[in-house]
A and B are shown apart, each in its own frame.
Chain A
Amino acid sequence: MKRSLIHKSGAVLLALALWQGISMLVNMDILLASPLKVIKRLATIWTEKGFVSTVLFSLMRITCGFLIALALGIILAVLAGRFSIVETLLWPYVVTIKSVPVASFIILCLIWFSFNQLTVFIAFLIAFPVIYSNVLQGIKSADPNMLEMARLYDVSWGRRLLYIYVPNIKPYLISACSVAVGMAWKAGVAAEVIGVVNGSIGEKLYNAKIYFQNADLLAWTVIIILLSVVIEKLFVFILKKIYEGVEKL
């Protein structure tokens, strides 16, 4: 564990050194700012007026979209696991969402919705199929021996769900959340950039591109990565706590 951490830290330092080397070689900040310049920008960016409101704007909308996807993904996967007709009826939507490029959805949403709803909807749209498919897979992979036991003992659907399916979907749900949070952030910010949503992180990225502020672009990117990782860890932590509570029932 400790050794692996040392190896990973070494790899990160090597990547940063490579980045520094390339930026020195290019020697044009508008093309590639050096890591040192990005760190310097990060040290000042959070003190600027409007930083907190910009972060909160995107954070709340992306989290909201993810939470809706989480709730709806779980509910519909449970229903699809119980009634195969639900799975069949949802199949075309899930396949479409998975295969249509996110940019197409963003442009469609710009026509249909207001800018305020765009981020929420895109984050939802990208996270939903991941959560739905994973949870459904978890339900389908429930131990047939346990299900046979439950059938023999005439266990109600509710208790089967709690004692057999819920523990079984745990690894699927946690892995889905880890992936879906990152995807929701990527798609959500992309939507903000394309839609130039006022007061969002995406707008900051757009402005950085317009004004050739490469250090700003990379500093905001670092902030997005940090937010995404923190939110992912937080959700996984909350899920594990919920599971601990359920297991004590």
Chain B
Amino acid sequence: MTDIKVDGLTKRFGEKTVLKDVSLTFRGGEITCIKGPSGCGKTTLLRILAGLETEDSGSVLGVPEKVGFVFQEDRLSEDFSAVSNIRLVTGKTLPKSTIESHLKEIGLGNDLAKPVREYSGGMKRRVAIVRGVLYGADLLIMDEPFKGLDTELKRTIMDYVKKYTARKTVICVTHEPEEARYMGGILIDMEDLNK
């Protein structure tokens, strides 16, 4: 798994410079957690890595072609079941039974037939995370995936992510140092990079 190298990245939105000459390396096959206060450019950095934003200057090298992304919002098709939402991105490459077993593993086994609109916020979050994991990309980006979840559930989900992304590159944004510690890997403070 190759490293992802970010060099001299700058991004402005109008008058505001969100990323200013940011340089860092994400080690391939490892988990990197990024912390930092709101508005310090964490999401912008992730979006540039995923190709959803274009940098004003600087470069990003080593990003694999296939990238999984757990957005801050769940971005689920509310009228469809969890399995259908995952199949939206995996197609029929994965059998339904595999998707169901992943959802069961993360505590959604009793609600598989329901449309996602009937799920609680925490349940939707888990579907979005399983979707990102099952996409099978070499890079999984997660933008505050554990926000609003209770500690026990966070740990279940973190264990799940770690189990199924072994030897893959994972970049995870979090506000909580405890989450970053539990996820393991490298911890980066965005404030140190973006001065």
**A residues within 8 Å of B by Cβ?**
143, 145-146, 148-150, 152-156, 159, 163-164, 167, 170, 243, 247-249
A173 to chain B, nearest CB (A): 13
Q: Which residue of A lies closest to B71 (CB)?
A: A149
Residues of B within 8 A of A243 (CB): 79
Q: Which residue of B lies closest to A152 (CB)?
A: B69
Please classify the interface of chain A as helix (H, G, I), strand (E, B), loop, or mixed, using the class held by over half of its residues. helix
Contacts A145-B71, A145-B75, A247-B115 given; does A150 touch B80 at CB 8 Å: no
Query: Could you tell me the distance between the alpha carbons of A150 and B75 in the complex, rounded to whole angstroms?
Result: 9
Does residue B78 face the partner (Cβ distance < 8 Å to A)?
A: yes
B60 to chain A, nearest CB (A): 15
Q: Check B67–A152 contact: CB distance below 8 A.
A: yes
Which of B84-92, B98-106, B158-166, B181-189 participates in binding chain A?
A: B84-92
Q: Check A163–B52 contact: CB distance below 8 A.
A: no
Q: Check A163–B67 contact: CB distance below 8 A.
A: no
Residues of B within 8 A of A248 (CB): 81
Q: Can you list 17 A-B contacts with CB-CB less than 8 angstroms, sorted by A residue number?
A: A145-B71, A145-B73, A145-B75, A148-B52, A149-B75, A152-B52, A152-B69, A153-B68, A154-B66, A156-B91, A159-B91, A163-B80, A163-B85, A167-B79, A167-B80, A247-B80, A247-B115
Does residue B77 face the partner (Cβ distance < 8 Å to A)?
A: yes
Q: Check B135–A153 contact: CB distance below 8 A.
A: yes
Query: Could you tell me the distance between the alpha carbons of A148 and B51 in the complex, rounded to whole angstroms?
Result: 11
Contact of B50 among A152, A247, A249 (CB under 8 A): A152
Query: Could you tell me the distance between the alpha carbons of A31 and B84 in the complex, rounded to whole angstroms?
Result: 61
Query: Could you tell me the distance between the alpha carbons of A243 and B51 in the complex, rounded to whole angstroms?
Result: 34
A77 to chain B, nearest CB (A): 19
Q: Check A163–B135 contact: CB distance below 8 A.
A: no
Query: Could you tell me the distance between the alpha carbons of A163 and B88 in the complex, rounded to whole angstroms?
Result: 7
Query: Could you tell me the distance between the alpha carbons of A243 and B78 in the complex, rounded to whole angstroms?
Result: 13
A186 to chain B, nearest CB (A): 33
Q: Check B75–A146 contact: CB distance below 8 A.
A: yes
- Beyond A163-B80, A167-B79, A167-B80, 13 extra complex contacts between A and B, CB < 8 Å: A145-B71, A148-B52, A149-B71, A150-B88, A152-B67, A152-B69, A153-B68, A153-B69, A159-B88, A163-B85, A163-B88, A247-B80, A248-B81
Q: Check A164–B77 contact: CB distance below 8 A.
A: yes
Residues of A within 8 A of B89 (CB): 153, 155
Q: Which residue of B lies closest to A147 (CB)?
A: B75
Residues of A within 8 A of B68 (CB): 153
Q: Which residue of A lies closest to B77 (CB)?
A: A163
Query: Could you tell me the distance between the alpha carbons of A155 and B126 in the complex, rounded to whole angstroms?
Result: 20
Query: Could you tell me the distance between the alpha carbons of A248 and B75 in the complex, rounded to whole angstroms?
Result: 19
Query: Could you tell me the distance between the alpha carbons of A146 and B131 in the complex, rounded to whole angstroms?
Result: 14
Q: Which residue of B lies closest to A153 (CB)?
A: B89
A161 to chain B, nearest CB (A): 11
Residues of B within 8 A of A148 (CB): 52, 75
Contact of B88 among A143, A145, A155, A170 (CB under 8 A): A155
Query: Could you tell me the distance between the alpha carbons of A247 and B118 in the complex, rounded to whole angstroms?
Result: 13
Contacts A159-B88, A163-B84, A163-B88 given; does A146 touch B52 at CB 8 Å: no
